[in-house]
Chains A and B, each alone.
Chain A
Amino acid sequence: MSNTRIIDEDFISRLEAVSLYMQIPMQGYFGGNHRTKTYGNTVEFADFRTYQLGDDIRRIDWNVYSRFEKYFIRLFVDEKQMHTQIFLDCSASMGKTDPDKGLYAMRVAAALAFLSVKNMDKTSLKRIRGNFAEDAGGLIVGKAAFYRAVGELEETVFAGTADLATAITHTDSGADNGLTVIISDFLTESDWKKAVNYLLYRKRQVMLIQVLSPEELDPGYKGRVRMSDSEAEDVLDERNMKMRITRAEVETYRLALHDYLSDIKSFCAGRGVSFFSVRSDDPVEKLIFGKLNEAEAVR
């Protein structure tokens, strides 16, 4: 992966035109670009309220006083900085057998990280391996840090397994202060739903992006096949399979995959979680400017 640029200037210039958009109220930190329901000191008018003792008299609206002979003060929108966490599943299934799938996942992670940085938010790129989530480039604030983090991200190796639930629930994700994106194929026995529930408990906005390779969507192989799972530890690993694949098996596979995706969608819809399933052979732009834009996750 080290020789591959996951993000280039042209793509970044196109990302400059959009921003991440928070759909839920957040607390966050001062200095960000995300609106909150509280009133702050920005120049964007929000509302009036009657004057109270202790209010700054400089905020009294004299024009209103001249009309109603009552003291009203003007309120302004407050904007805060959020903490965006991007979890990238770095198990073998994400890129060992299909590097394009891994590359696609990294590009999505980098693109979302850029959008977050562009909003002056704090951003974390976390790679999940085994039971842990490690930061790539630490806490990213500013574009310089972003590029540094991307450089580390490009060095990612997809290997082993990834326990999403354990890795995410053991990560300090903060509270009421931002967006958590999980990029994975979700083809795992790990209880990732537990991680999502945990994040929601922490009142974070959650976005799931599922990356599937074309072969995973439509297996092109038939006949008697011994399938070696990329995450298998050895040939005796029970994840390896030996089966006779006929047209009927392929049809059943499609049905099972469809039902599985429907289950994920249903789970997410019931919790206000955004879910996007993408093909790894599609351009990343199709996700950013297409699906995310349609879902008003970016504007």
Chain B
Amino acid sequence: MSLALPLGLLGLLGIAALILIYILKPKYAEKAVSSTFVWKLTLKYKKKKLPFQWLRSSLLLILQLSILSLLAFSLAQPLFAVSIESGEKIIILESSASMLAQKDGRTRFDRALTDITRLAEETVPKDKVSVILAAGTAVPLVTRSDAEGLIKLSLTGVECGYGQADIPGAMTLAESILRENPSAEIILYTCREHPDSGVTVKNMSDREWNAAILDFKAEFIEGYFRFSVETASYNTAADLSLVLEIDGQFAEVKAVRLGADQPQTVAFGAAPVSYDNARVYIDVADAFVYDNEFRLFGGGKQNFRIQLVSKAPLFLGAALRADRNCDVIVPGYTPEAAELIQAAANEAERLMLIDGFTIDDYLYESAGYDLYVYERMTPGVLPVDGAVWLINPESEPSGSGLSLGARVSGSFTLTATGAGGEAYDAVFANNFPYADVTLSDYRRVLRADGYEEIFTVGGNPVLLARQADGVKLTVFALDFHNTNLPITLGFPILINNLIQYSLTRTTESYLYEVGNRVAITPAAVATSITVEGGGIRQDFDAVNEKVSVTVNKSGAYTVTQTLRTKSTEENFFVRIAKGQSDFNSVGEAVKLPPVSGTAPKVFDTIDILSYLALALLAIISFEWERQYREQY
């Protein structure tokens, strides 16, 4: 308690004056009575039977002292600083896809926003409100504010996410607020139950119906793709029609009867050998539309074009073709070369002729392929729009940074070096058994500027890799025919590993989940990339390194690359997290952060003058009544 005018307490001197008046007050009425015998008995009674009689007999004095005290306090203008219980609220608003479920035109998220606005109006300005949006990453919208306008402004334009909610992150943010006021109440606006939670849970779910495609798979079995769908109907049983489209064409429809909350897997009969785009969907008016469609891309069609220029292409070509995504093209001979071969007397002469051919005897291309493989031949200028393998090169191509020396013969084994490099890691993927490899001949590399040495023989590199200007160049300074590689199990592993290294796909997968970050590897000669889907479009110009986008909405996305002469398109699909479709799932218990310490006192200053006036009035009235009763 504080006093605005402490001098007012001087009024308490009136108490001393009152007591003095009582002491000096001599007015006793004279009364002759026949006997005071009974009055003396009365005094004994007062002592014996009425122990609190002194209080009654002194009531008037007590009342008058109270009046004087109240008057003095009123003059001093007392202000009471009272501790009030904090009603601060920390609101966590879940922003997951399932909060988008609609009923009567309003989503759960909308209803939660309305509720939060009302709660904020009730709470401020007396107490503070914090709002944390638990989206893919928890972010504070407003922290410990008692300004209603600011809180409403922070809620304006907030949209619900399509991913999962970062509740733990939101609780971490809430904990930092709790440290400032441990008595603040945490309220979680969500759409599922969180039993045994230490926070107040407001479940915005209204048992909405959700028919969902939970998963869509294509398995390659005996040369055909077999499709299967996992589907479910939550909160009510339903008859659904699952429609399958392949490459934009209707393929099949499946009618299924689903029990409530019982996921079911349905297999389709359609079985293509390959596909670019498979889509399954259900056409229903449920509360949640974002899981009614599912797409698959990249269904076995050959996506990479490889040009193999070799005097003996059969063996290496077969190894390259082992990857179903690769379309291997072996260029033919020039007409002149073809005529010479045709004129050969026998097979031995034909082989002799071919052995003497140079690269100019082939109708090879220098652009338009994803991978160029040159075996025992070297182009004058290296291609710039794809990866290049130089196998046992006869000479150094210009701009390759290589300087080749003489051939070395003997019996050698490989030594792995350059651990940690990108190419090294790629070669050694899938346990390539390099120790078994022996060779009898290799070409000495005198200079290799900017190359990563992967294998060496006696300190001389025999397998090198370089990445410059977006072009991956791999050099084998050896001849496969002079090694035992082709007869080992490691050969297809090595070829596959090098394909994976050289032929980098634009995206690592065709299927992502909302919230994922999609890395896009541009083609070597791409001048721009456009990513479009989910209602957004992102453009990247002058790309020569990976770019990435975060996909925040479900649906099909298209990556368009503009190359020098043409443009390419690739697709991927972003799905809603499976758990978001399950409207009856139970959330984990949300534990209250263990914040130590006591709640800070919240003080409010109360001017009690009006209360004093009321008390004064009451006591004066009572005192008058007592005076009246004593006198009459």
Contact = CB atoms under 8 A, between A and B. Distances in A.
A binds B: yes
Interface in B33-55: 33-46, 49-50, 53
B57 A227 contact: no
A240 B36 contact: yes
A228 B32 contact: yes
Contact of A230 (B27, B34, B40, B53): B34
A46 interface: no
Given A227-B39, A257-B38, A246 B57 contact: yes
A226 B28 contact: yes
B592 to A, nearest CB: 59
Interface string A217-240: 000011111111111000000011
Interface string A91-133: 0111011100100000000000000000000000000000000
A225 B31 contact: yes
A239 B36 contact: yes
A188 B36 contact: no
Interface in B246-261: none
B411 interface: no
Contacts of A216: 34-35, 38
B630 interface: yes
Interface string A63-105: 0000000000000000000000000000011101110010000
Q: Name the prevailing secondary structure of the B interface residues.
A: helix
A213 interface: yes
Contacts of A189: 37
Contacts of B564: none
Interface stretch (A19-27, A33-41, A169-177, A248-256): A248-256
Interface string A183-225: 0010111000000000000000000000001011000011111
A251 to B, nearest CB: 9
- The size bracket of the interface on B is 20 to 34
A56 B51 CA distance: 77
B40 A97 contact: no
A255 B49 CA distance: 11
Contacts of B45: 252, 255-256
A231 B31 contact: no
B30 A226 contact: yes
A208 B533 CA distance: 121
Interface in A160-174: none
Nearest to B39: A241
A42 B40 CA distance: 55
Contacts of A249: 42, 46, 57
A267 interface: no
A60 B43 CA distance: 71
A240 B36 CA distance: 7
A247 interface: yes
A230 B32 contact: yes
A290 B386 CA distance: 143
B63 to A, nearest CB: 14
A242 B36 contact: no
A226 B35 contact: no
Contacts of B27: 224
Interface in B91-149: none
A94 B38 CA distance: 14
14 contacts: A97-B32, A185-B34, A187-B34, A188-B35, A226-B30, A227-B31, A228-B33, A229-B35, A241-B39, A241-B40, A243-B43, A252-B45, A252-B49, A259-B41
